[in-house]
Amino acid sequence: MVTPEKNIRFKIRKEIKRQSLPKIPCTCGCGTMIPPITVQGKPAKYAWGHNPSPTVFKTGHIPWTAGKKCPAIGLVHKGKKISKEEIEQRTKTRLKNNNGIYQVKRGWKQSEETKKKISDSLKGEKNHGWKGGISKLPYGFEFNDELKHVIRDRDGNICQRCGKTPEQNKKTLAVHHIDHDKMNNDPRNLVTVCNVCNIWYSNHRDQPFKWG
């Protein structure tokens, strides 16, 4: 579990690492030297407060939409009137297709036969994501909680692809096998990732791992 003290220490280490990178000049031309990345890990361009973005709201600014109607209001489809005969015909059709039970379109229930067909089409080799059953292969005995803890500490306990923390991931970060070989538990083959990135690489095995 990540304690507040550990989280603070991690943020301090991250800021020290960011400040140690070669500085670049502020894009506005003021001469201020800034780290090449922001606190959020994105490419930096301006020093704090130097961004001359015209989108920043200023006192007295009048938005371009002031006093104008939304152009989409006149395009809203209000539907057309349905005749009594058509309503009766639709009712009869729904009763016939649903074994005498009237049911509105919202929440329309599928038959058990249809559910079984959909379920069978997603199992095993019929599934587009089928990889020959490799997901059921066992992990090596070295791949235990102690090794995972060492890998997470080595990587600063953040996702090495997108930079998520355990708090943003809402659970403990995963440890991913770069070559997808569950028996290769060499620390150089293991990397800390969030659940989303772990699933993404599991479904894109042909994509090489890119460090964030």
Report the C-alpha gap between 205 and 200 in whole angstroms: 9
Give the highest mean pLDDT range of 75-84, 107-116, 198-207. 198-207
pLDDT at 150 over 80: yes
* Contact partners, residue 2, CB within 8 Å, separation at least 6: 157, 165, 166, 167
- Note the pLDDT tens digit of each residue in 36-80: 888 887 888 888 878 776 556 667 777 777 777 766 555 555 667
Vertex 123, ends 208 and 131: CA angle to 5°?
25
DSSP state letter for 115: H
Q: Would you kindly state where each structural domain of the chain is located, as residue ranges?
A: 21-47, 140-203
User: In this predicted structure, what is the pLDDT of residue 78?
Assistant: 60
Report the C-alpha gap between 94 and 86 in whole angstroms: 12
